[in-house]
Amino acid sequence: MSFDHSGRTAFVTGGGSGIGRAVAVRLAAEGASVAVVDVRLDAAQETASMIAEAGGIAVAFDADVRERAEIEDARDGALAALGHIRYLVNNAGLVRMSTLDELEEEEWDLVLDTNLKGMYLVTRAVAPTIAEAGGGAIVNLSTIESEVVVASQGHPQVHYNASKGGVKMLTKALAVELADRSIRVNAVAPGPIATSFIPGGDLRTPEAWAFLKERILVGRVGEPEDVAAAISFLLSDDASFITGAQLPVDGGWLTR
Amino acid sequence: MRLEGKVAIVSGGGTGIGAATARRFAAEGARVVVTGRRREPLEGIAAETGGLAVPGDATDPEHAPAAVSAAVERFGGLDIVVANAGVGFGGSAGEVDDERWARTIDVNLTGPLRLVRAALPALLDRGGGSIVLVSSISGLVASTESAAYMASKTGLVGLARSLAVDYGSHRIRANALCPGWVITPMADEGADELAAARGVTRDEAYRIGTEQVPLRRPATAEEMAACVLFLASDESSYVTGATLVADGGTTIVDAGSLAWDETP
């Protein structure tokens, strides 16, 4: 482990699986106390147990990022249990696939409310506590699909693309507004990462690799730990002059 | 230690971002070869870091191969290349003469190419490596009367992408770092010009120059070294062809709109 987060508390949404779990585990291993927040309490508890078994400190909370009251309860719980919050990882998100002709308003709202409005609601609730603690850092989960449309034939997802494009600009706007409160705000843009995030899409199969190898320059599919490393860097004091940036963690996908 | 067992070359390693990078790399366990024009500061850094100084001019075709050979002979191989050496000459496209244009491109763009080209066989021998090209936000957005510098730094962003695509399958990663205002001897010259024009101190010039930056300050060389370290280390093993912007938010704002802020 490379970065020193000791004495700092992180609030990680979507911490019950995938990248969120990897980030929570990594930050705890690097000394942070972690509030693991997930819409599924059992998933959040499992992450917290993994951290505790490794000797770290974590508390699990359930909250749907679309629900302001639930987020505020989780925040208050985290403050009560862990004392303060210095880091926020806005990781909770989901993807749905529908062509424009199939896409119903309900599904559009689900994706936009979770991925974009949820990020606003959580930041709205947590940023003031970070400022009160003397400042800190926020990392938002964007995606290479905030920059390019990937495989639109097989993966029609205008709502997902729109939500993540919003995340990219939200990151910049928050960075400007929160700079004077000593809070840096950045985004990571993962490429293909081997998680269960994409419905029915196991990226570790030979068939998946046959497609991905043409786009990934480093010869392998990414792991949640790759993204966790970049998030840990952006939260750390090593990134003290980086704000408003979006860092691709994509094996080189966006390079060409 | 994040660079245990690694060998690195840092060009422009005698001062500024390069010197800070050499120090940070050494603290993280790397053996460092520093190159640059002036022998004295290089040897100071080399002595301090237990590294090796190879003085020379980035425009001399013999210089980069000599630096790479020195790294391989002294430390047994090469894993990391940081192309950081650069010069800054002002002038709009209409003002810049051929000599200044050529010197800027030669040092800032062709120099990194020469260094990387000389280093590639050694990196391939190790089964891969990491290349960090120190560009600038002048490679992303415009600054006034800076045609040659902007062209050279924009070129570095493209060179990093080219290296990422062509050498990715050989496990060589390449990324560009784009710093904003950083307190270095090179930036001091710019600050001193502003200070003279406004009749203020150098510190005050830095403050004026960064008052529209969201973080309201210039960076330290050490902060940039931390970014170079991330890109050089295995922590960024899934990051290649990327442009890491480390500018305190400079390029995300419409700087002109902040002039009306009442922030002191």
Task: Summarize pLDDT for B76-128 with one digit per residue, the tens.
Answer: 999 999 999 999 888 999 999 999 999 999 999 999 999 999 999 999 999 99
For B199-257, write each residue's pLDDT tens digit. Answer: 999 999 999 889 889 999 999 999 999 999 999 999 999 999 999 999 999 999 976 55
Mean pLDDT in residue range A188-197: 88
Return the residue of B nearest to A219 by Cα: B169
Q: Which residues of A touch B173 (CB under 8 A)?
A: 218, 252
In sequence order, what are the residues at sequence separation of 6 or more whose Cβ sits closer than 8 angstroms to the Cβ of residue A9? A32, A33, A34, A35, A78, A82, A83, A84, A85, A86, A87
For B156-215, write each residue's pLDDT tens digit. Answer: 999 999 999 999 999 999 999 999 999 999 889 888 988 999 999 999 999 988 988 999
Give how far B129 is from chain A: nearest CA, Å.
Answer: 11
B149 is catalytic: yes
Q: Higher model confidence: residue A197 or residue B148? A: B148
How far apart CA A11 and CA A23 sit, in angstroms, is 11
Q: Which residues of B touch A230 (CB under 8 A)?
A: 235-236, 238-239
Residue A153 is predicted with a pLDDT of 58
pLDDT over threshold 80, residue A187: yes
How far apart CA B248 and CA A176 sit, in angstroms, is 10
Residue A151 is predicted with a pLDDT of 65
Contact A252 B241 (CB under 8 A): yes
Percent of chain A's residues with pLDDT above 70: 96
Task: Of A154-158, A191-195, B64-68, B246-250, give the lowest mean pLDDT range.
Answer: A154-158
SS (H, E, C) chain A: CCCCCCCCEEEEECCCCHHHHHHHHHHHHCCCEEEEEECCHHHHHHHHHHHHHCCCEEEEEECCCCCHHHHHHHHHHHHHHHCCCCEEEECCCCCCCECCCCCCHHHHHHHHHHHHHHHHHHHHHHHHHHHHCCCEEEEEECCHHHCCCCCCCCCCEHHHHHHHHHHHHHHHHHHHHHHHHCEEEEEEEECCECCCCCCCCCCCCHHHHHHHCCCCCCCCCECHHHHHHHHHHHHCHHHCCCCCCEEEECCCHHHC
Distance, C-alpha B170 to centroid of its chain: 24
Give how far B40 is from chain A: nearest CA, Å.
Answer: 29
Q: Which residues of B touch A245 (CB under 8 A)?
A: 244-246, 252
Contact B229 A242 (CB under 8 A): no
Contact A238 B247 (CB under 8 A): no
Contact A217 B240 (CB under 8 A): yes
Mean pLDDT in residue range A108-117: 98
Residue A207 is predicted with a pLDDT of 83
Give how far A191 is from chain B: nearest CA, Å.
Answer: 9
pLDDT over threshold 50, residue B263: no
Pull the structure tokens for residue B165.
């695509």
Q: Which three-class secondary structure state does DSSP give residue B186?
A: helix
pLDDT over threshold 60, residue B261: no
Contact A242 B244 (CB under 8 A): yes
Give how far B188 is from chain A: nearest CA, Å.
Answer: 19
Strand order in the sheet with A183-190: A57-62, A33-38, A9-13, A87-90, A136-141, A183-190, A246-249
pLDDT over threshold 70, residue A149: yes
Q: Model pTM?
A: 0.96
For A200-226, write each residue's pLDDT tens digit. Answer: 667 888 888 888 888 899 999 999 999
Q: Which residues, numbered 188 to 227 in chain A, qualify as contacts with chain B under a Cβ-Cβ cut-off of 8 Å?
A: 191, 217-219, 222-223, 226-227
Return the residue of A nearest to B159 by Cα: A255
Q: Which residues of B touch A229 (CB under 8 A)?
A: 235-237
For B13-59, write each residue's pLDDT tens digit. Answer: 999 999 999 999 999 999 999 999 999 999 999 999 999 999 999 99
Residue B262 is predicted with a pLDDT of 45
Q: Higher model confidence: residue A119 or residue A210? A: A119
In sequence order, what are the residues at sequence separation of 6 or more whose Cβ sits closer than 8 angstroms to the Cβ of residue A148? A254
pLDDT over threshold 90, residue A103: yes
Q: Which residues of B touch A249 (CB under 8 A)?
A: 238-239
Instruction: Tell me the ipTM for this assembly.
Output: 0.95
